[in-house]
Amino acid sequence: MKYRAAWMALWLVLAGMTTGAAAAQREQGQAGVFDFYVLSLSWSPTFCLTHPGDQQCSGKGYGFVLHGLWPQYTQGGWPASCDPQSRLSAGELAKGATLFPSPKLLKHEWSKHGTCSGLEASAYLDKTDAALGKVNIPQQLQPFNVPNSLDAQDIETLFRQSNPAMRSHGLAVICKGKVLSEVRVCLTKDLEFAACPRSVKSQCRDGDIRIPTQR
C-alpha cells in the first residue's frame, strides 16, 4: 500500500508538471497558429490622462489610434512573444511610425503580438495597415467632434453604421471605470469582419461613459 501511495503521488506530480508545461507552451504560443485577429484602437485622450509624458500625448490631438493587431484563439487567450521571423529593420521602423503613435508602442506590439502572426515584420506591418484601412471611424467619434459622453451601445452602433459589413457583435467597447479606453474589432485572418467570440466582449458599466478630449 505504501508503494502504491508513493507511485500515485509521483504520478500526480508528473501530471501536474505536464499540464503546467502545456499551459505555458499555449500561453507563449506558436507563430502562425491562431484563429482570428483583433484590431485594437485606443482612445488616445484616455491613455494620455495617465501617460502625459508619452510621445503620442504631445498635443497632437489624436482620437482613436492604433494599439495593435492581435492574433487570438477562439476559445480565449492569445499567443504572445513567439520566436520572431525577423527583426524590425530601419525601413520597417519608419513604416511603423506611419501606423503607430509612438516607436515604443510599435516595438512592444511587434515583440508581443506581431511575432505570433507567422509573418515577417514587413508583412505584419502591411497586414496591420490593411486592417486599419478596413475600419471607418465614425464622424461623430473624430477628435474634437466627439460628445462628452455616450453609452457603450451607442458607440458600437456608430461603428456599425460607419461599417455596414461589420458583423453583429463584431466589436467590443472597453472602458477604464466609466471612461472610454478602446474599441476592439474582430477580423478573420483574411481581414474580413467577423463576429467576436465570447472571449472578446464589451467591458463597460451600464449608462453613459465619459469620452475625454485632448486640446
Distances (CA, A) of 120 to 62, 82, 113, 116: 29, 12, 12, 10
**Residues in contact with 154: Cβ distance below 8 Å, sequence separation at least 6, in sequence order:** none
Q: Please confirm, yes or no, whether 108 is among the known catalytic residues.
A: no
Identify the active-site residue in 92, 113, 156, 182: 113
Q: Please confirm, yes or no, whether 192 is among the known catalytic residues.
A: no
Q: How far apart are CA 7 and CA 122, in angstroms?
A: 53
Distances (CA, A) of 191 to 162, 177, 183, 186: 17, 31, 16, 9
Sign of torsion over alpha carbons 19, 25, 27, 29: negative
Where does residue 123 rank: exposed (0-12), middle (13-18), buried (19+ CB within 10 A)? middle
Three cell numbers written together for 9: 503521488
Q: What's the gap between Cα 138 and its chain centre?
A: 19
Is the separation of the CB atoms in 166 and 185 below 8 Å?
yes
DSSP structural state of residue 203:
B
Identify the active-site residue in 27, 51, 67, 108: 67
Identify the active-site residue in 92, 109, 156, 182: 109
Which residues are designated catalytic? Answer: 67, 109, 113
